[in-house]
Amino acid sequence: LGYIERLFNLVSRRMLSAHLYFDWIYRFTKDYREDQRLRKICMEKANEIINQQKKNIMDQLDINGNLETNSEDHYNKPEIFIVKLLSETFDGKTFSDEEIFHNAYTIIVAGNDTSALTVASCCLFLAMYPTIQDKVHSEIAQIFPSKHSPINADDLKQLVYLEMVIKETLRLCPVAPNIAREALQDVLIDGTVVPKGTILLMSFYALHRRNDIWGDAA
């Protein structure tokens, strides 16, 4: 999915280039044309997934137009989020095509690398700190003594130390180091008025490493 990585690069470059914040300038750039081309690819992929899953669901309808969901396998197997939205729509609960499309688009674009990056960062930190790695291993081995041990939600709640490691990893290496938001109305912050329409850029990466919040080891 190189086109997603390239799209992220373009978005990041625009976020770090003040003159590109203005749409009327950005539209005249080469980046804008490539941006639109890549977004179109992502949208086509989202529609492709939706149409394929719609076809799969249509194949599961009974003669009355209802989904056949009485089998034990249906309730035991995990459900894909987009399939769940489409299934609910066929069952009479309303989700518009636009809502389903935007959810699929978000998963394709924003959910592509986030989990992989977090796991990679976590493994890196564990390798850097063998003592921490040993504690994580001991906790997992205690709760799951065999590689064939069943896993359920109650067991996962007992992985307290592992959860701490994951949260610390997210603090040091947030999957979204920066985030932008538009002020929908005039906002007063510490005596300064932020006008409506202003784009605010917040750095979680910097916030999570502030000594005055996290201490000297931040």
Residue ending a domain, choose from 94, 110, 126: 110
215 and 185 in one domain? yes
190 and 157 in one domain? no
Query: What confidence tens digit (pLDDT) does each residue in 138-158 have?
Result: 999 999 998 888 888 888 899
201 and 180 in one domain? yes
Count of domains observed in the chain: 3
Lowest average pLDDT, out of 59-63, 102-106, 168-172, 185-189, goes to 59-63
84 and 12 in one domain? yes
146 and 103 in one domain? no
Mean confidence (pLDDT) of the chain:
83
User: How far is the CA of 33 from the CAs of 39, 141, 148, 217, in angstroms?
Assistant: 10, 52, 51, 44
Query: What confidence tens digit (pLDDT) does each residue in 76-129 have?
Result: 455 556 666 666 655 555 677 787 787 777 777 766 667 788 899 999 999 999
Helix ranges (H only) for the chain are 2-15, 23-26, 30-59, 72-76, 81-90, 97-110, 114-128, 130-143, 153-157, 160-172, 204-207, 211-214
Cα(15)–Cα(37) distance, integer angstroms: 19
Mean pLDDT of 185-205: 91
Do residues 81 and 99 lie in contact, with contact meaning Cβ atoms separated by under 8 Å? no
Cα(88)–Cα(171) distance, integer angstroms: 36
69 and 10 in one domain? yes
Q: What is the per-residue pLDDT for 85?
A: 66
Cα(87)–Cα(83) distance, integer angstroms: 6
Pairing of strands 187-189, 192-194: antiparallel
122 and 78 in one domain? no
102 and 28 in one domain? yes
Residue 12: give the domain boundaries.
Answer: 2-110
93 and 21 in one domain? yes
181 and 101 in one domain? no
180 and 170 in one domain? no
6 and 104 in one domain? yes
Mean pLDDT of 194-217: 90
